[in-house]
Amino acid sequence: MEKELIIRKIKINDLKKIESLQRENADEINNIWTFNEIFRFVEKQNGLAYLSEKNKELNGFILCLSNEDLLDIFIIFVAPLYRRGGIAEKFIKLCKIYCEKKSLKKISLEVSDQNFAAKKLYKKLKFKQVGLRKDYYSINGIKQDAIIMQLNIESQKS
């Protein structure tokens, strides 16, 4: 029997699996977060760190930090076999809920200008481009621009 997708907070015993998931998909990731980097991140009071799994298999994660009035998404990653299944959208929904609880006004992220699927998703979720970092990423030795996008939480309220 196939189990439902589970999204939960990242625990310390998940960190090696998260690092491994990134290494398995290194050709898609600009900067692999190490065990120690994720550990320090998860321990922060202003951090938001969740993972998704199905049948106890890790298939995605998100790491965010809040400051002042903004939640900054540092990485959102979903394994290729699980994309277009709503996982990233569920992560963003958790971010919105967190922002509402903490009275944060915006969610910010950056995405490669070559990541067409992610850009399409963020636009669908009402993120707007607010900046550009030229040649910010180097993926497989190829320079790519980073598009900075933000979602205004105030405009999302009904």
Pairing of strands 106-112, 57-67: unpaired
Q: What integer pLDDT is reported at residue 134 of this predicted model?
A: 93
For 84-100, write each residue's pLDDT tens digit.
989 999 999 999 999 99
Q: What integer pLDDT is reported at residue 158 of this predicted model?
A: 45
Whole-angstrom CA distances from 80 to 60, 65, 74, 83, 128 are 9, 25, 19, 5, 25
For 33-80, write each residue's pLDDT tens digit.
888 888 888 888 888 999 999 988 999 999 999 988 999 999 999 999
Span 102-109, mean pLDDT?
A: 95
Query: How far apart, in whole angstroms, are the C-alpha atoms of residue 158 and residue 64?
Result: 25
- pLDDT(24) > 80: yes
Per DSSP, the three-state class of 140 is coil
For 136-149, write each residue's pLDDT tens digit.
887 777 888 999 99
Give the closest residue to 52 by CA, choosing from 70, 31, 78.
Answer: 78
* Contact criterion met (CB below 8 Å) for 38 and 10: yes
- How much is the pTM? 0.89
One-letter amino acid of 106: K
Whole-angstrom CA distances from 134 to 36, 91, 105 are 29, 27, 26
- pLDDT(2) > 60: no
Q: What integer pLDDT is reported at residue 47 of this predicted model?
A: 86
